[in-house]
Amino acid sequence: MDNLIDKIKAAGLRGRGGGGFSVYQKWKSVIDTPSDKKYVICNGAEGEPEGFKDGYILDNHLEDVMNGISLAMKEIGAEKAYLYLRKDYYEKYQKAIGSYPIEAPLGLIRKPDIGYIGGEETIICQVIEEQNLFPRKKPPYLSEKGLFGQPTLINNVETFYYVSKISKDEYAGERFYSISGDIDNPGVYELKEDDTIIEVLKHTGNYPDFDFFAQVGGISGEIFLPSEMDKPLDGAGFINVYNSINVDHYSFLERLSQFFHEGNCDKCTPCSGGFYLINEMCKKKQIDFNKLEDILLSLKVSSFCALGKNAYLPFETFINKITKDGKH
């Protein structure tokens, strides 16, 4: 099997940005959308507050990432590729990236200082097009109408790394895990994709010997109790472990809401006003749980983009699982 896209299909590679969408299908859709201009974007915005893994990959495997981008461009017939990096990555790798010979033009873009939402794919297009920094409505999806209105392939750093591995027949179902929190060996590890969360913690010598819970899949990810960790990680490769005894419930929710309050784009009411209000209630240590539930509902069903739509999850699962008697 020589054809890259068929290899990707056979490997069953799923996007590593968090969405977990089939890479094959995404590429196929860009290939199948007719247009003389197509673009590739590599997303290196990595906006997680805890840990990092794309940074680790850039540090250790830049060549493969560049190779992956290059292969994607060839495969879809892209006119230009953009590598979109958060500020510190941009500064660190700017030089090295410039020295990689890549056939078609490559634009290196620095993520503006707009927080977590700066990694949202339609905002990335807005940044590159120098438009206002609000997400776009989907559909249309980027694969049909993306950058400059053209079919656009966007994957994150890790995905491009594995594309390169697949092309060299060196991929055997691994992914990267960034592990942080109340553990002994924080860091980035490359392990099997179908390892359970418990296995990942154990293999890395990080399985706690105390009562704990973890936020899995990044800052928008669900809160898991150990009993729920007997399954592979879904979403972005982040595991953040908390000691159940030490965690102050107010500060946990305060930190979470602060992050989303500062990191949203303020375009829409539930997210812009909602996280602010949650944050205020946490700061004052006076949480009106009915109000909190209302806001989470509104976020889930009425916010504009995925940031708001997904961010109810850690709150809801934390309240249900950790603050069992939270209503006091």
Partner 1 sequence: MENIRITINGKDIDCFKGETVMEIARKNGIDIPGICYCKDLKPETSCRLCLVEIKGKDGLHTSCDTVAEDGMEVITDSEDISKVRKINLELILSKHSKSCGSCRRVKNCKIVKAIKDCGMLNINPESSDKPIHQFGPAMTFDPNKCINCNNCIQVCNNQGVGYLELKKEDGFSRICPSKTKDCIYCGQCLTHCPSGAFKEVDSLSEVEALLKDKDNHVVFQFSSTLIKSIGKEISPVWNKESIEAFSNFLIHLGAKMVFDTSFGVDMVIRKEIKEVVRGIEEDRCIFTSHCPSWIKYIESYEPEFIPNLSRIRSPHIVSGGVVKDYLIEEQHVDPERLFVISIAPCISKKDEIILEENRIEGVRMVDYVLTTNELHALLKKNKFNIDNYKKGRKDIYIKESHSYDSNEEMIMSGLSTLYKELSGKELNSLEFKRIKGINGAIETSVMIHGRSIRLAIVYGLEGARRILELLKDDPLTYQYLEVMACPGGCLRGGGQLPEVGDMDFSNNIFANFYEDKVLKNNNLFVDDIIGFAEDKDIIFKKDGNKRI
Q: Which residues here bind ligand SF4, judged by CB under 6 A? A: 117, 135, 264-268, 271-272, 303-305, 307-308
In the complex with partner 1, the residue whose CB is nearer, 224 or 312, is 312
User: Could you tell me the smallest distance in angstroms from the CB atom of residue 274 to partner 1?
Assistant: 6
Residue partners of 279: CB distance under 8 A and separation at least 6? 254, 257, 258, 261
CA distances from 7 to 12, 26, 106, 162 (A): 9, 14, 25, 11
Closest among 312, 313, 304, 311 to 123, alpha carbons compared:
304
User: Rounded to whole angstroms, how far apart are CA atoms 285 and 306?
Assistant: 28
In the list 89, 207, 304, 315, the residue contacting partner 1 (rule: CB under 8 A) is: 304
In the complex with partner 1, the residue whose CB is nearer, 29 or 272, is 272
In the complex with partner 1, the residue whose CB is nearer, 134 or 250, is 134
Among ligand SF4, partner 1, none, the one that 125 touches (CB under a kind-dependent 5 to 8 A) is: none
User: Could you tell me the smallest distance in angstroms from the CB atom of residue 318 to partner 1?
Assistant: 20
In the complex with ligand SF4, the residue whose CB is nearer, 117 or 166, is 117
Tokens of 43: 């997303």
Give the binding-site size for partner 1 (rule: CB under 8 A): 31
In the complex with partner 1, the residue whose CB is nearer, 19 or 115, is 115
SS3 labels along 174-199: EEEEEEEECCCCCEEEEEECCCEHHH
CB count in 10 Å sphere of residue 280:
14
Strand order in the sheet with 106-110: 106-110, 80-85, 39-44, 152-156
Which value, to the nearest 10 degrees, does the dihedral of the CA atoms of residues 251, 257, 262, 266 take? Answer: -160
In the complex with partner 1, the residue whose CB is nearer, 244 or 269, is 269
Instruction: Compose the 133-172 pattern: x for residues touching partner 1 by CB under 8 A, - for all others.
Output: xx--x-----------------------------------
**DSSP 3-state of 312:** helix
User: Could you tell me the smallest distance in angstroms from the CB atom of residue 188 to ligand SF4?
Assistant: 27
In the complex with ligand SF4, the residue whose CB is nearer, 43 or 303, is 303
User: Could you tell me the smallest distance in angstroms from the CB atom of residue 160 to partner 1?
Assistant: 31
Tokens of 145: 């109408």
Does 233 sit near partner 1 (CB under 8 A)? no
Residue type, 310: N
Show contacts with partner 1 in window 81-140 (CB under 8 A). Answer: 114-115, 132-134, 137
Among partner 1, ligand SF4, none, the one that 117 touches (CB under a kind-dependent 5 to 8 A) is: ligand SF4
User: Which residue number places its CB atom closest to ligand SF4?
Assistant: 308
DSSP secondary structure, 95-144, as one string = HHHHTS--SS-EEEEEPPS-GGGGGSHHHHHHHHTT--S-PPPSSSPTTT
Among ligand SF4, partner 1, none, the one that 228 touches (CB under a kind-dependent 5 to 8 A) is: none
Element containing residue 4 per DSSP (H, E)? helix 4-11
Sign of CA dihedral 18, 21, 24, 28: negative
Show contacts with partner 1 in window 254-283 (CB under 8 A). Answer: 258, 261-262, 265-270, 272-274, 276-277, 279
User: Rounded to whole angstroms, how far apart are CA atoms 217 and 219?
Assistant: 7
Let me know: does 64 contact 85? Beta carbons within 8 Å.
no
Options 185-193, 210-218, 227-235, 293-301: segment touching partner 1 (CB under 8 A): 293-301
In the complex with partner 1, the residue whose CB is nearer, 76 or 117, is 117
Binding site for partner 1 (CB under 8 A): 114-115, 132-134, 137, 258, 261-262, 265-270, 272-274, 276-277, 279, 294-295, 297-298, 300-304, 309
